[in-house]
Amino acid sequence: MTTSESPQSLRRSYEDHLAPILNGAYGMALHLTRKREEAEDLVQEAVLQSFKAYAQFQQGSNFKAWFYQILINRFRYNYRKQLRAPQTTVLDDAPDLYLFVQMSSSGLMKGAEDPAALVLSKLSEEQIREALDALPEEFRIACTLYFLEELPYQDIAEILGCPVGTVRSRLHRGRKLLQKALWTVAQDHGIVRELMDKKESDTKREKASVS
C-alpha cells in the first residue's frame, strides 16, 4: 500500500478488506472478552487502530491475519490485567482418547463410530462455543482461530507472534482439553443422558424384534 494514495482511496480499500471479516472478528472478540459490550468495544478499537496503520499494510498479503493480530494484541493490552487469573488446568488428565473412553464407559460406542463426531452432531453452535470458552486463554485463542476461523497454522503463528511449532503444541493440548469441555457441556445440557436413553431404547427394541 503506498502512502501517496488519497485518504478517500485508502478508506475505500480498507472498507473493502474489512467488510468480509467483520462478523468473524466480532465472534473472535466475543470469545476473548466473553461479554458482548466489551467485544463491540474491542472490535471498534481494533478497527480504529488498523485503519490508522492501513497505509503501511502490504497490499496482497493476508488482511485477515493482519487485522486479527491487531485485535488480539489490543485485547491483551486492554483486558488481560482485568481478567481473573486463569485456573490451573491439569493436562495429563485429558488423554487424547478422552471422548472415546467416556463414550465407551457409558456404553454409547458402536463399532467404529467417531465419538467426537457423535457428540458434536448433538451440540448446537452455541454449545460448542461454550466448550471453547471453557479453555484456558492460550488454548482458547489458538483453537478458536483453527476450528472456528479455519485459519492455517502459519496464519495463526503470525497472529499470535509465535513459531508454527508452538501453534501445533497449543492445538494438540487444546484438543485434549476441548474433548473434556465438550463432554462436560454435553452432560450439562442433558445430551449424554439423551444418548444413553436412546441406546437403552434401541437395545430393548432389538431384543423385542428377536423374540
pLDDT at residue number 128 = 85
Q: How far apart are CA 116 and CA 99, in angstroms?
A: 6
Give residue-wise pLDDT tens across range 142-153: 999 998 888 999
Angle between helices 7-18 and 36-52 (to 10 degrees): 140
Cell of 91: 493436562
Q: What is the pTM of this model?
A: 0.73
Percent of the chain with pLDDT over 70: 84
pLDDT at residue number 91 = 45
Q: Do domains 7-82 and 91-210 have the same CATH topology?
A: no
pLDDT exceeds 50 at position 189 = yes
Tell me, which fold does domain 7-82 have in CATH?
Rna Polymerase Sigma Factor; Chain: A (1.10.1740)
Tell me, which fold does domain 91-210 have in CATH?
Arc Repressor Mutant, subunit A (1.10.10)
| Cα four-point dihedral sign 181, 121, 31, 147 | positive
Domain ranges of the chain: 7-82, 91-210
